[in-house]
Amino acid sequence: MKEIRNFCIIAHIDHGKSTLADRLLERTGSISEREFHDQMLDDMDLEQERGITIKSHAIKMIYERPSGDEVIFNLIDTPGHVDFSYEVSRALKACEGALLVVDAAQGVEAQTISNLYQALEQDLEIIPVLNKIDLPGADVEGVAQQLIDLIGCDFEDILQVSGKTGEGVEHMMEEVVKRVPAPGRDADKPLRALIFDSKFNTYRGSVVYVRVMEGTLEKGQGILFMQTGKKYEADELGYLQMKQVPTESLEAGEVGYVIGGVKSLEDARVGDTITSVDNPAEKPIPGYKEVKPMVFSGLYPTDTDEFDELRTALERLQLNDASLTYQPETSKALGFGFRAGFLGLLHMEIIQERLDREFDIDIITTVPNVEYEVVMKEPGKEREKLVVDNPSEMPEVGLIEEVYEPFIKATILTPAEYIGPIMELCENRRGEFVTQLHMQSNRVEIQYELPLAEVVFDFYDQLKSGSRGFATFDYDFIEYRASDLVRLDILLNEEPVDALSSIVHRDKAYALGRKLCKKLKDLIPQHQFQVPIQAAIGKDVIARETKKALRKDVTAKCYGGDVSRKRKLLEKQKEGKKRMKQVGTVDIPQEAFLAVLSMDDDD
Amino acid sequence: MAGIYIHIPFCKQACSYCDFYFITSLEYREQFVTRLLKEIRSYRGSKFTDEPVETIYLGGGTPSVLSADQLHQILEEVRDTFDVRVKEVTMEMNPDNVSAEYLNALLEIGVDRASMGVQSFDPDLLEFMHRAHDRDEALECLRLLSETGFPTYSVDLIYGNPGQSTDCLKQDLDELLAFDPPHVSAYSLTIETDTRLGKQYELGRLDPLPDEKVARHFEMVVDRLAEQGIQQYEVSNYSKPGQQAVHNAGYWSHKPYIGLGPSAHSFWWKKGKDAPVRWYTKQDIKTYLSGDRRQLIEETEQLTRRQLADERIMMGLRTRKGIAVDELSSRYGYDLNQRQQSYLDQKKQEGIVKRLDPIQLTFEGLKIADALILDLVSMQ
């Protein structure tokens, strides 16, 4: 039986993870040099451009050692963003080792660290790797020292490679064999296979990616998904090579896929354990979590005729992304659309971009919000709890007894010099300080409890800019807590614009209202009449601006050489006007619906 | 009926606001004229010569940097090539190029309308605009125009300049009106991106006059000229009765025209005969002088009925004549829909539209014509 090594690559964006993975595929003969377009593991356009692996993939390679022995490599790819930290943890769980790849020119960056800590938590063997040593700006000694500080290794332990030229890659593969522990191969225990990813195939249902931890998964076997309790038959098993390669069984230590007529991704949840129906394991693999959408936003087609197209697109996206939820809703300002739930802001952005690129649907998104629990004042009746995920559905202030909002525990890792700005940011976002822990190499771990709503508004960007990109951030939901929250409405020309309502803490409502009015004044075009812009809580107007009426809007010159240019401009403006939404007689450009998002805290 | 536009791309110096195509080196004048004559000749025998030419317009750049003899050759070549039955031959000129002798020579070769680029009489404004002439030359050229008995002429004026006070504008208008001009083209300053002003604006070194003030200037121009019997007949054009520009009015009503010279636009539309087309040449003297026709064309547009209708509305609503509903329907196949009709009705009540057929704007409407036009054409 061939030896197996299951490992992943942990790297900051742009530090060369994909190039290195390509090199491995090439050197193991998994794929010929010209067979792939640049970066095989990231096969969606979007991932390539962002340099983020959105969904984890896995690939099996056969490595021939200089001794002539063959070893099976299972390289498991990990997504690299905080929204997907749970998926990352499951992918790591499927490995025994990790290559910690750092760009020799850029040095250790924050994004790697959160994943590194997760990997350490899972007891993975960490192999530090300096990549891009071929670059003229490579600082091998200096960056190696950073790695030594970070993980406490010796200089000799650090590998030096270049994904681009291939230098050091052979040695690295040998080191993987030597250092990464072989997986347990106990094929006789009751089956426990960890689901670390899945993909939807229109003809075959879910293709479930698993790592067999114990026991043997056999073709035709009755299988039980321990968390969902669903039972299927393992119609097809196989290895994940450049193509799916069917096999008869997957044994403990192996990585592969299972197809069993699993209708939707909902039923093949990441982190679930597959066992055998006939001889079930006692307990599932620990660490399973149900992934719940945390951030909600309205998605509306820019062109109201595209509602059906949008519905179809969302259906198709959901097939491959069970964490996306949506339901139809109607807005006075935006017409028919959907309220969609996302894991986080990045997840939301990705969905928006995929709608644009893969389905060519232009959409307007409303300001993201979280889900609130509202207890109504209803004397004599039993108190009813309302779940509100759309600000415009928040009842009148007077009817509300109490509003609860989700709180998270945020863990922030940062070099010590940025503690100040980070704590200030957290305090501004209604955070409650929990602990602060000084670690090796001048790093500090800070914990805060924060309302999730405060985090979904550009918290991550602010954190990054406040720490020159060094701080990393991870969060876990803790509980719902009562807060003094109000609904802030925006009125244009005396008409409320439902899609511009937001739920905010009372203390912040005034400042926000003022800023919103100001911002909208910049964004809304001049009309032939004056447009009052108001922010209100219930009936109380708390801020006001006025967009003046057009006084002069006429081109001076219009002769033979101007006609074409002027008509083309007119055509462009016509398009722009079509994309605007009307509330009453006021035209509102799309950007206005995201006005809240683009406001700095300190302006 | 067609018009001919000839672009003479030479200027002594670059005016800060100008985004027409021009070059400030005069050395290519000879070669240019030779090339232009060839270009005109190239039309011989083509379908474009079947249509009688009623107007010729020499624009630029600065046509007056050419000698009367050179201009004579050009006009002769046009007469030999096209079926010229001329009503109006306009030539743009700058005050600093003009002498009695020059004007008389122009009269002799058939130029019968001068368009004088005065822009302002105020020394500071002339400097801001980076004009080549000074205040005295501005006054002198107008005196010469009357003295030589030019049949008709137009004077260009620019208002709404940064920092320009209404007093300053009033002064400009008074000085201009002392000459009792038959025609005035008064433009509110537009800061175009590829100009010196555009650059300054980008760098934040220029404070455009606020819209309200420009609107006040506009009102003042209209009122002051009207007092002297010079009526607004287009957003930026004013004339005494019977003195409206024939050539320019042709653009606004989609009359065909042939453009000659670099950057010149041509438009050809013969109902029932040729599909409407517009083409224009590159803004490049070198390409022009090389004489390669295929290289020279920058773009050719085949225009749809819809595009033409939008253009007609866009240009027609800028004029006092407005645009007849019937013309839209018969010539463009464009019928106003319900939304457009009720929009116009409402705008009439608001005092922005003067008449519903032909559709005409009030002065209040003209001030915001672009917004109105956009509203109107977006509804269909």
Q: Over the stretch A463-487, which tens digit does the pLDDT of each residue have?
A: 888 888 778 777 778 899 999 999 9
In chain B, how many domains are there? 2
Query: Structure tokens of A98?
Result: 């990790």
Same domain, B244 and B312: no
Closest CB from A550, A560, A564 relative to B368: A550
> For residue A366, what pLDDT is reported?
87
Is pLDDT above 50 for A603? Answer: no
What average pLDDT does the segment A6-16 reach?
83
- Three-state SS annotation for A57-72: CEEEEEEECCCCCEEE
Sign of CA dihedral B172, B176, B182, B185: negative
Same domain, B87 and B19: yes
What average pLDDT does the segment B9-25 reach?
95
Same domain, B6 and B123: yes
> For residue A442, what pLDDT is reported?
75
What average pLDDT does the segment A297-316 reach?
90
Rounded to the nearest 5°, which phi and psi values hold at B120? -165, 160
Q: Over the stretch A69-93, which tens digit does the pLDDT of each residue have?
A: 999 999 998 865 667 778 888 999 9
Q: What is the distance, to the nearest Å, from the Cα of residue A229 to the centroid of all Cα atoms in its chain? A: 27
Contact predicate A58/A240, CB 8 Å: yes
Q: How confident is the model at residue A597 (pLDDT cuts 50, 70, 90)?
A: low
The shortest C-alpha distance from A524 to chain B (Å) reads 14
Q: How confident is the model at residue A54 (pLDDT cuts 50, 70, 90)?
A: very low
Q: How confident is the model at residue B34 (pLDDT cuts 50, 70, 90)?
A: very high
Would you call B220 an interface residue with chain A, using a CB distance cutoff of 8 Å? Answer: no
Contact predicate A595/A523, CB 8 Å: yes
Q: What is the secondary structure of B354-380 as a DSSP string?
A: EEETTEEE-HHHHHTHHHHHHHHHHT-
> Cα–Cα distance between A574 and B130 in angstroms, integer?
36
Within a domain: B326: yes
Within a domain: B240: yes
What average pLDDT does the segment A364-381 reach?
84
Interface test with B, best of A559, A565, A573 (most B CBs within 10 A): A559
What average pLDDT does the segment A105-123 reach?
78
Within a domain: B132: yes
> For residue A302, what pLDDT is reported?
85
The 10 Å Cβ neighbour count of residue B271 is 9
In a 13 Å sphere around the CA of B196, the CA atoms on its Cβ side amount to 11
Same domain, B310 and B245: no
Would you call B280 an interface residue with chain A, using a CB distance cutoff of 8 Å? Answer: yes
**Kind plus residue range of the DSSP H or E element containing A588:** strand A586-588
Sign of CA dihedral A300, A303, A305, A311: negative
Percent of chain A whose pLDDT exceeds 70: 91
SS3 B289: helix
Q: Over the stretch A494-552, which tens digit does the pLDDT of each residue have?
A: 999 999 999 999 999 999 999 999 999 999 999 999 999 999 998 999 999 999 999 99
| Residue bearing the bigger pLDDT, B288 or A357 | B288
Q: Region of A360 please: left (phi>0), alpha (psi -120 to 50) or beta.
A: left
> For residue A35, what pLDDT is reported?
56
Query: Structure tokens of A349?
Result: 């952005």
Task: Provide the number of CB pairs (under 8 Å) joining chain A to chain B.
Answer: 102
Q: How confident is the model at residue A268 (pLDDT cuts 50, 70, 90)?
A: confident
Q: Over the stretch A321-365, which tens digit does the pLDDT of each residue have?
A: 778 899 999 998 889 999 999 988 778 888 888 888 888 888 888
Domain final residue pick, B249, B267, B297 = B249
Interface test with B, best of A303, A554, A563, A574 (most B CBs within 10 A): A554
Contact predicate A225/A261, CB 8 Å: no
Same domain, B217 and B114: yes
Where would I find the H helices in chain B?
29-41, 68-81, 100-109, 123-128, 135-147, 166-177, 196-202, 211-227, 246-252, 285-290, 293-296, 305-316, 325-332, 338-349, 363-367, 369-378
What average pLDDT does the segment B25-30 reach?
94
Q: What is the mean pLDDT of chain A?
A: 87
What average pLDDT does the segment A162-168 reach?
91
Same domain, B149 and B219: yes
Least reliable range by pLDDT among A111-120, A200-209, B39-48, B308-317: A111-120
> For residue A53, what pLDDT is reported?
39
Contact predicate B358/B322, CB 8 Å: yes
> For residue B113, what pLDDT is reported?
97
Q: What is the distance, to the nearest Å, from the Cα of residue B372 to the centroid of all Cα atoms in its chain? A: 22
Within a domain: B365: yes
SS3 A265: helix
Same domain, B136 and B240: yes
Same domain, B231 and B331: no
Q: Which of B359, B332, B319 is nearest to B269 (CA)?
A: B332
Q: What is the domain range of residue B353?
A: 306-378
In a 13 Å sphere around the CA of B49, the CA atoms on its Cβ side amount to 14
Q: CATH number, domain at B350? A: 1.10.10
Q: Which of B333, B312, B326, B379 is nearest to B356 (CA)?
A: B326
> For residue B209, what pLDDT is reported?
95
Percent of chain B whose pLDDT exceeds 70: 100
Contact predicate A276/A226, CB 8 Å: no
- Three-state SS annotation for B20-45: CCCECCCCCHHHHHHHHHHHHHCCCC
Is pLDDT above 70 for A52? Answer: no
Contact predicate B367/A552, CB 8 Å: yes
Within a domain: B268: no
Domain final residue pick, B207, B230, B249 = B249
Within a domain: B217: yes
Within a domain: B265: no
Same domain, B51 and B158: yes
| Residue bearing the bigger pLDDT, A348 or B33 | B33
Within a domain: B293: no
Q: CATH number, domain at B173? A: 3.20.20.70
Same domain, B238 and B326: no
Contact predicate A235/A260, CB 8 Å: yes
Same domain, B143 and B29: yes
The answer to whether the CB atoms of A558 and B235 lie below 8 A apart is yes
Least reliable range by pLDDT among A9-18, A404-413, B55-64: A9-18
Q: How far is CA A480 from CA A369, A405, A432, in A?
A: 15, 5, 14
Domain final residue pick, B203, B231, B249 = B249
Same domain, B233 and B327: no
